[in-house]
Amino acid sequence: MSIKQKLQDFQLLIKEDRKTQVIVGGVVLFFLVWMIMPNPRPHRRPITKLHQTIPENPDSGAMGAEEAYKDLITAFSKQLEQLNEQTKKQQQELQENRENMKQYEARTAEIFKKILERIEETEAAPAGYMPPGEDNYNPGEPVDWQDPSQEPAASYGGDVPPAFDENALDTFGSLEDQEPVPPAPPEPGRVVYIGPGDSVRFKLLAGVDAPTDGTPYPVVLKTIGPIKGPDGSTLPVGEAHIMAAAQGSIANARALFRLTTMSIRLPNSGRRKTVSIDGWVVGEDGIRGMEGILIDPLGKAIAGTMMVGGLGALGDGIAKSQSRQTAGFDGTVVENLTGNVPVYTAGKMLASGAESWANLLKERLKNMPAHVRIYSGREATAVFSKPVTIPDLYDELEDEDSGVVFTSLD
């Protein structure tokens, strides 16, 4: 690479990278301060401020207490007026509620009085009384329905009602009707069954960056063989797709998978079926999970912390070499400038920038958890942990005559 290309890359890095901008700016500022810095004879200049004593005004305390007392009296008077107004409003509302209650009781008593009068009028009506609007009603003479010797008058449309039997049962329809025969239950369909412990080989369709902080990472798997069961039984499912959730393990640099959904295509009709599944993945080495590459930003964070700590210590050293700290009688620490002002300023700037950089690194490290990377194309084995049934697949495999069917439920 030529020197010109390196310079162009460095200029681009200065424009895009904030860390590089801070470092270059600090270096340039340090050299500028160093170049313009005079070289006088050593002298001592205190930078502390003189303590100024403020004379106390003996009347200020009394005036302040009097004003506070007046304000307190004013505020208390306002609150008392508000309470009086609220009390008056509540008394008015209570009086209104009492009047409304009295009116409600009066209306209720009038209604009950009218109801009682209507009941008394009904009880006092003669036997042949006909209510208005009922021309065909003829109650006739009272009849004892329990006495079979008496027959009621035909006043209900011409037919004499039968004698009333309180122990008789009401009938609905004819007693000779037979109960309908229930239809025969439909024959149960045959479905394909995948049991716990069955396995299938698959291939990763996309790479995996499984985080180690517990966040699930979606993964798509493609089956590359039939599902294998006990006694050498197999179930051809074609190139079915399996959705899984991956999580990284920082202890052994492996990605752990949990199966969630499987999507298959029926071989004869071409319809799609999606079933919920559960299980895990066994890697090429026969251990649960797949081995990957652990990508941990901890090393870079440590290097950056060391660099920031060195810059901060350098800035503090430069600032302290140009000043001196003394302790007063009251325990306060006073820093006196004894050296060059630009050098002291440059040291303080360098220490402050290093501290800000360290805080930025801490926040960035929280949002950069370690993860396990696995590239696409690798093959492994998926193991089912719960039973799964797939309807309609048995019949289509039987029509296609594609081999031995795995297991069916009749």
Task: Name the pairing type of β-strands 241-249 and 254-265.
Answer: antiparallel
* Average pLDDT, integer, range 329-346: 74
Cα–Cα dist 20/355, whole Å: 16
Q: Running DSSP on this structure, what letter comes out for residue 219?
A: E
Calculate the dihedral angle through the C-alpha atoms of 202, 207, 209, 210, rounding to the nearest 10 degrees. -10
Residue 292: pLDDT band by 50, 70, 90 thresholds?
very high
Distance (Å) of CA 39 to CA 183, 204, 324: 113, 70, 19
Cα–Cα dist 248/256, whole Å: 6
Cα–Cα dist 156/162, whole Å: 12
Q: Based on the number of CB atoms within 10 Å of its own CB, is 81 exposed (0-12), middle (13-18) or buried (19 or more)?
A: exposed
Q: Quote the percentage of the chain above a pLDDT of 70.
A: 72
Neighbours of 187 (CB within 10 A): 7
Q: Running DSSP on this structure, what letter comes out for residue 45?
A: B
pLDDT for the residue numbered 311: 79
203: Cβ contacts below 8 Å, ≥ 6 apart: 221, 222, 224, 377, 378, 379
Q: pTM of the predicted model, to two decimals?
A: 0.45
- Per the model's pLDDT, the better-predicted residue between 318 and 42 turns out to be 318
Average per-residue pLDDT in the chain?
76
Instruction: Please name which of 351, 341, 281 lies closest in space to residue 316, comparing C-alpha atoms.
Output: 351
pLDDT per residue over 230-258, tens digit each?
A: 988 888 888 999 999 999 998 889 999 99
Number of H helices, E strands in the chain: 6, 17
pLDDT for the residue numbered 24: 78
pLDDT for the residue numbered 177: 57
Cα–Cα dist 312/163, whole Å: 113
Chain centroid to Cα 221, Å, comes to: 28
User: For residue 105, what are its two tokens?
Assistant: 């009781």
Q: Please report the DSSP string for 255-297 in residue order.
A: EEEEEEEEEEE-TTT--EEEEEEEEEEE-TTSSBBEE-EEE-T
Chain centroid to Cα 198, Å, comes to: 35
- Per the model's pLDDT, the better-predicted residue between 341 and 202 turns out to be 202
